[in-house]
Every structure is written in structure tokens, then in C-alpha cells.
A and B are shown apart, each in its own frame.
Chain A
């Protein structure tokens, strides 16, 4: 079937609308409908990836109009990989979410699934599209749904976190839209390939430079790159777990993808790296972001907040790698989109299981978790190793490429920041392990301190299976890093 590219995006949208109807007729239907929609999406994404690997990029014309007139989906190796990643994480998280949604937002669970599906539609659409304005519309859907979701989380602090997110997010989206407007003024077109073609003859124009800066700053705000990150930690830690698990790995990563897409496909790497000053400044900023994120993570007392700051740090890796200006750095950045999405997802799945049992994840409350939830903690340890960058897990390989890229460019400060942040992550996670390893000391035993018996109380099986699967995939993806780089990333960059 030739319609797979559009089915990836439209299947969740249709599912959202059908569950929108089902909510009023038979509430219980909305979960299976959501599951079906995302399953179709995963299946289509898988087919598209196979097709792209075997027979090159796919172009899909909406309404049959030729590209500059109509909107087109242009799916190459990079999109196809990110599409499969996004849709499968969305699907797996939905499988794991049934119980936790029931527990957390019992009274409006069916509506939760609708918003969730719309959020996935937005992310998938952003990834698949080959049109600058279409991308903006879908960013709008993604943002709007995440504002709603964040406000739905923590009853006290969720709404305020969401309000901050709304203000900053709207500014980010406006910057991007303004940039697209400037591009339209210079080119008269919105199709990425067409714009890129026209821009070839306007390299010196001040409009193009302004457009570029506006678009990139808008995306940086959306991806929470260092000075614009203030909305992220609160927004992610106060949202409902079922949503945090999907927004934390995907939202920022998809925005990094958009940045790379603009850099490579629309403006062209030659244009961006014409003057070394800009790229150098961004790499410096990225190094600061990495150190800042790691140090702030060290200062947190809440597990969710700590992970949120680690995301700020990881964004620094990807932006720095992409702006390194050489193939190794870009390879590292793209590989890190995949790896970081997977390991953040694995991490948040484990945290989700803990929240399901413990309700809150203040670090001092986590005592004795290894005994209580051994399987969850196994997943947690794997994800932590991957974030630190221990060799067989996937996190190591993308960091390796990033460091090689930094050495090739001579950006030793970036390499140093990367190593230091990895060490800080190691300290961070071993501190958590230490707290979790020892059972709580019982209060009533007087001067004779004895350990209270630990009873195993694991999260539901559906959550454990997903968590285990994703954690194992960290090792599998790590072992096959070479294959991924050689079949997807290198051919894409050529």
C-alpha cells in the first residue's frame, strides 16, 4: 500500500476522534480504540522504514498536488527512523499506562487517551512532514496537548507549571512562525526542498539570516536548550506519570530532529558553517548546558526533578554534536536522538512503576526498593548505566561519536564537559542506588537497630513487561549501533 506515510499520522488522529465519540457512548471503548490507532501507526512506520532502506526516500503528495503548490510528506532515512521510534514509544507507553492512568486520573481517564492520541499525532506529523508551515501547525497541536496534560498532573503545582510552560512555549512557537514568515518573504514557498533550492541563490540575504536565527531560537525554546530551559523541570515533574513517560523522551528529541532537519535540509550545512563564529558559540553554549544540567541534577532531592535536569544536560549533547560541523558530531547527535529517547523512556518507566507503588519519589523515601521491586530496579539500573555511558549499553556509543567529533573539531571544552557530566551522572545514580539498596530502619526497635523485613511489592505485570522490554532494548541497540550507523545515519548524511 502506498498510503503508509500518511497512515502513520492519521491513524492516531482518527483513533482520537473515534474515542472522542466513544467517551459519550461507551467509555470503556476509548482505551482499545487508542491502542488500535497507535498499533496501526507502528505497523505503518515499520513498513515505511523498510521501504526507505530498500528503495530510497518516499514522497507522498497530499491531495495529489505537486510539492510547491500542495503539502508533501518526504520521508528519508532520518524521518523513518524517528517515526518508528516515536510511534513505538507511544504504543508501548500506552500499554503500560492503563493501570497508572486508572490510578492517577481515574475520573477523566477516557479523555486522557484522546489528548494522548492527539499529542502522538502532533509528534508524528512534525516528524513526517516536508512542509515548513505544516510543521508549525503540528507543533501547535503537540504543545496544546502538553499544556493540558501538565495542568492535569499534580493538583497543586501542575497548573502553575503549565502556565509557565504556556507562556514560554507560545513565545517559542511564535519565534519559529516568524522565522517561517521571513523565509516565505524571501522565497515565496513553504516546501522544505523548494525553499532549500531557492535559498541557494540568496546566501547573503539578511532576511535569510534573520529567518534562520528566529527558527533556531524558537526550536531551542521548545527543546529547552540551556538558557531557555526553565519551563522543563517543573512541567515534566508535575505532569501525570503516564504522560511524563512519553513527553520526556519524545518532545525534546523530536525538536532536536526538527533542528537537524532545518540545518541539513532547509538551510544547508554549508550556509550554517560558513562563518565559524556562530557554530563555536553554540558549541560553547552546549558545553555550559551540559555542565549546568548535570550540576542542577545533582542538587535535586526528587527523582523526577533530577531526571528532568538530566534531560536538559542531554539536550546539550545533541545540540553540541549537531553544531560540531563534522560528520562524526552529526552522527553522534542523530544516534543520540535514538539512544536518549530509549534510555529516558526506560528510566521514566521505572520511575512510573515506583510512583505507582510509592506515590512520591522523594529520594529519602526510596529506601529498600531493591528488595521491594527487584524487576523495576533492574530496569532502572540498566537505564542509569546507559545514561552514564557504560559500554554495552547504547548511551556509550553515541557519546563516543560525540567525543570523537569534538576531538576532530578541536572542541576540547565540549569533550571535557561530556566526560565531567558522565561522571556526575555516575555519582548521581550511585547515590540513588545506595539509598535504594538498604532497607528502611524500623523506628520502634529502640536502641537496637534492626532492619524491618522487606516484602516484595511489584508494579503490575503490564508495566513490568514494557519496562523490561525497553531496558533490554538498550543493550540490543547498543550492540547493533554499528549497523544502525552504517545503514541509516551514514547513508543519510552522504
Chain B
């Protein structure tokens, strides 16, 4: 079997090497890839879309249809994690700490319901004493990370950035919260329901903006059809792209958190890392 694998690898490598014989030179400005369509995008983007960032205009307008499905792929990934990992059964054993004294209650029977007062806190099995420095630094950092994420989303039209990057940055700020405090802090702050709704809503914003163009008299995704709806019809394509990017940002942010929470807690949403 291993021998067969070596043969297949060699054949594939040989094929790839054979393919290189006709490659255009490295960085050749007259190669088909840099002449056929690139010229059009470089020359016409501003005129067509009023967006100075060519990458964004190709991503969200010329080939926006691909990006829409990429967002759907991300949504699918989050959904797959949820559907496969989510485990609604409770944990077998639980631990509570009495805050004033530090005495720990160990509940061995997971089915038994136990009402504890406010003086007790539900804690992880492998409980680590909280580190004041880490907590404080992260508490200061997180809001700035989130503001930066929003900046990246909003500024995608003009500079490098956009929904995917911004969404990932925002999502990582949530994960940082979960790591520096504990998973329960994150889950209590942002409910699973909210994350689920945001994931679907984000993609829905994208597809919705694209679909509204149809009854408005344009083709699917043709932002110009939205001109009567916006305050600045001259920049309607840029505004359409901004709306779409915001949708992407929502979806990516929520899916990052969903994937993290489900994998780390093995779908139980109680404790992890």
C-alpha cells in the first residue's frame, strides 16, 4: 500500500513538473493572468463602482456572487460544528465554590438539581485561581480589539480589510474573553441563541441585499437597483458593498465563537480551556 502511495505521489509530482514547462516567466507582466482581465479592473473600478479598493470591488461586486457563497460556507461550518458536537445532556459532576470561605462543593450526581445562593459560584473541574494581571490586561484590551474590528469592517472599501477580517478580529476578542476569564463568562455574556441568530442573520443580510435588487428591477446583486433606497445614489455600489461586508462580519464573528465554544467544551457549553 505504501509502495502504491509512493508511485501515486511520484506520478502527481511528475504531472505538476510537466505542467511547468510552459509556465509564463515569474512575474511576467505580459502573462495572460495579468493582461486578460486585470487591465479592465484596474482601469474601470473607480468609474464603475466608486470604490478605491480594487480588491474589495472584485470581491464584493464583480465576483460578489462567489463571496456570498463563501459566507454561506462559513455559516455551514458553524452549523456543522453545532449539529455534530452540541450535547444537551448535563455534565456528570459539578463543582461550586463558596465565595467568602473558599469551600468547594462537589456534586457527584449530575441529574440532581441543586439550587445554590448567590454566594456560590459554579466552577470548572480543573479550576485555576484567576490571575489578576491577565484578567485586567484582557479586560482593557478587548474593547479596543472590538473597536478595531469594526473599523476594519467599515473601512474595507478604502483600505485593506473587510467583513472576513473584521469578523475574525471580533470573534477572536470573544475567544480572548473566554480564555482569560473562563468559558462560562463568555456563554453567560453572549447566549448561544444570540450567536446562532447572528450567524444566520449575517448571511441573510448579504443574500437579502442581493435579493432585494431583483424586485427593484435589477439583476441579482446589482446594487445600482437600490439607488432609490439610499441617501446617496451616486455611491450606491459602495454602500451596497458596505452593507454586504457588515453582514459578512456578523456571520464570521458568530461562527468563530460558535466553533470555539463547541469544540472546547465538547458541545456541553459548560467548561473548557
Contact = CB atoms under 8 A, between A and B. Distances in A.
A21 B197 contact: yes
A206 B22 contact: yes
A60 B222 CA distance: 12
B92 interface: no
B8 to A, nearest CB: 10
A69 B92 CA distance: 58
A188 B220 contact: no
**Taking chain A's interface residues, is the majority helix, strand, or loop, or is none over half, making it mixed?**
helix
Contacts of A210: 15-16, 18-19
A3 B36 contact: no
Given A14-B207, A63-B64, A118 B32 contact: no
A108 B211 contact: no
> How many A residues are at the interface, by size bracket?
35 or more
Contact of A189 (B36, B72, B79, B83): B36
Identify which of A10, A17, A107, A184 gathers the most chain B CB atoms within 10 Å of its CB: A17
Interface in B36-67: 36-38, 40-41, 61-66
A69 B65 contact: no
B15 A21 contact: no
A71 B66 contact: yes
Nearest to B251: A17
A137 B66 contact: yes
B32 A20 contact: no
Nearest to A140: B73
Interface stretch (B112-120, B179-187, B198-206): B198-206
Contacts of B79: 20, 111, 114-115, 118, 148
Interface string A58-81: 001111110011110000000000
B231 interface: no
Given A20-B200, A144-B76, A207-B23, A185 B207 contact: no
A386 interface: no
B196 A145 contact: no
Contacts of A64: 218-219, 222, 224
Contacts of B63: 70-71, 133
A63 B220 contact: yes
B80 A24 contact: no
B34 A188 contact: yes
Contacts of A61: 219
Interface string A183-219: 0111111000000001000000111011101100000
A299 B18 CA distance: 41
Interface in B228-244: none
A142 B34 CA distance: 31
A111 B66 contact: no
B214 interface: yes
Interface string B1-45: 000000000000001101101111000000111111110110000
A108 B70 CA distance: 25
A152 interface: yes
B70 to A, nearest CB: 6
B69 A152 contact: no
A187 B23 contact: no
A64 to B, nearest CB: 4
B204 A189 contact: no
Interface string A149-160: 001100000000
A188 B35 contact: yes
A102 to B, nearest CB: 16
Given A187-B32, A198-B32, A63 B221 contact: yes
Nearest to B221: A63
A198 B214 CA distance: 32
Contacts of A63: 61-62, 64-65, 219-223
A238 to B, nearest CB: 14
Contact of A182 (B19, B31, B207, B222): B19
A60 B37 CA distance: 20
Contact of B65 (A114, A134, A145, A185): A134
A207 B224 contact: no
Interface string A325-341: 00000000000000000
Interface string B146-189: 00000000000000000000000000000000000000000000
A414 interface: no
B84 interface: yes
B207 A13 contact: yes
A19 to B, nearest CB: 8
A115 B210 CA distance: 21
Interface string A1-23: 00100100010011011101101
22 contacts: A13-B72, A23-B196, A62-B221, A63-B61, A63-B219, A65-B61, A68-B37, A70-B65, A108-B83, A134-B65, A137-B69, A138-B69, A141-B76, A148-B80, A148-B83, A184-B33, A188-B32, A188-B33, A188-B34, A189-B36, A189-B37, A210-B16
Given A63-B221, A111-B79, 7 more contacts: A3-B214, A14-B208, A20-B75, A20-B79, A111-B82, A182-B19, A206-B19
Interface of A: 3, 6, 10, 13-14, 16-18, 20-21, 23-24, 60-65, 68-71, 107-108, 111-112, 114-115, 118, 121, 125, 131, 133-134, 137-138, 140-141, 144-145, 147-148, 151-152, 182, 184-189, 198, 205-207, 209-211, 213-214
